[in-house]
Structure 1
Amino acid sequence: MEEFIADHKNSLLFSLILFILIITLKIVFTSVVRKVGKLGEFNPVRTNLIIKYINIVLTIISIITLTFIWGVNYRDLGVLLSSVFAVIGVALFAQWSILSNITAGVIIFFSFPFKIGNTIRIMDKEILNSDDPEREVFVIEDIRAFHLHLRSANGEIITYPNNLVLQKGVVLISTYKDEEIIEGSEKA
């Protein structure tokens, strides 16, 4: 054991530094995302989902960095990675829509101007119905990793993909707080 430690002292030291750095980054990113979630009044489930994505990325970066630190034979690693990436590439190409929805979910978390409880209209010809204008208005029930849950005026729950929300025009009709103010003024 002492011989192993003596032979790999630098690799062990760099691995320890990497471990401390990754833990520190995880703590910092988690606190930043939680602050953004709290300031933006986001659903805690959405905040935890973004934290999970960040942890996955940090883990992948750690594994890649450890292969460099420990001097893995790149020729053997190249054969392994090319095989793995070929399989993953085919799978990801087949699942591009799922990945675009996840990416859109992350973008929506940080820059979506609408929140749960807002009333919106999505400018999508497949949803718009000129015969029944009430059908065009939706209340955001939940924002998930892949899609939004929208409640129509007649009570139907519609799931709408995140990537389409970013591609289509969305009109904010009222916010949840606006409705509270309106209801409060009607009672007064």
Structure 2
Amino acid sequence: MVMFKDFHLHDYYGKIIATLILIVVIYILRLIIRKVVLKFSEYSSKSDNRSKLIIKYFNSLLNILFVIFIILLWGVDTTQLFGFVGAAITFIGVAFFAQWSVLSNFTAGVIMFFAFPYKIGDRIRIQDKDFPIEAEIDDIKAFHTILITAEGEHISYPNNLFLQKAVVVL
């Protein structure tokens, strides 16, 4: 048995086992999320790049939750840690509020993955009284969609506007 001054490994067996269980649970959740997103992507004819992007978002969320659970499990002194995290989140929140369009485009990109009735290759018309657009969807990114007009123009169209404007498939 490993022993140091006032350290006994057997005092930590419960936390070690809980950590291993948490790692297995996170791994299983990653597999399930990957399978569900890929199945949904296949069912709705979404591109592989978009599927990988959504999987990356979910994996990032799982990583954050994993770190939080490990901190809580091992009893790290959270007063200073949560103070720092709170300040960081506040700073990021202010930055996102200042750049609300970035956040809204990102959120719209995730919504479009699951509920967007159009796919790459569709020819569409965006009903906008000031600037109507008729083009083909070339690619759908996290923040914007690439459209190609009949004249060959490449248009980077913000995802949040897709959710606000009427769009017709031609």
Superposition TM-score, scaled by structure 2 size: 0.91
Q: 1:155 aligns with which of 148, 152, 155?
A: 152
Select 1:140's aligned residue among 137, 140, 146: 137
Cα deviation for residue 4 of structure 1 reads 4.5
Report the alpha carbon displacement of residue 91 of structure 1 after superposing the two structures with TM.
Answer: 2.2
Q: Partners of 1:154 and 1:171 in 2: how far apart?
A: 19
CA-to-partner distance for each residue in 1:62-114, whole Å, 9 max, x for gaps? Answer: 11111111112232223222222232222222232112111111111111000
Cα RMSD of the aligned pairs, angstroms, is 1.5
The separation in 2 between residues aligned to 1:149 and 1:29, in whole angstroms, is 27
1:96-153 deviations in Å (ceiling 9; x for gaps): 211211111111111100011111111223422xxxxxxx321111111111111112
Which residue of the other structure, out of 60, 80, 104, is the alignment partner of 2:84?
80
The gaps in structure 2 that reach 5 residues or longer are: none
Distance 1:125 1:19 in 2: 53
Give how far 1:18 is off.
0.6
Matching residue within 36, 56, 61 for 1:52 = 56
Distance 1:4 1:54 in 2: 37
The aligned counterpart of 1:97 is 101
CA distance in 2, matches of 1:42, 1:11: 42
Equivalent pairs counted in the alignment come to 166
Residues 119-134 of structure 1 mapped to structure 2, 5 A cutoff: 119-128=123-132
Say which is worse superposed, 90-99 or 145-154, in terms of deviation: 90-99
Distance 2:89 2:122 in 1: 41
**Of 27, 31, 34, the match for 2:31:** 27
Identity level (%): 44
Distance 1:5 1:97 in 2: 51
Q: Which amino acid aligns with 1:139?
A: E
What is the TM-score with the length of structure 1 in the denominator?
A: 0.82
**SS in structure 2 opposite 1:8?**
helix
Unaligned runs of at least 5 residues, structure 1: 129-135, 174-188
C-alpha distance in structure 1 between counterparts of 2:98 and 2:17, whole Å: 41
Residues 30-61 of structure 1, C-alpha deviations (whole Å, 9 max, x = no match)? 01111111111111111110010011011011
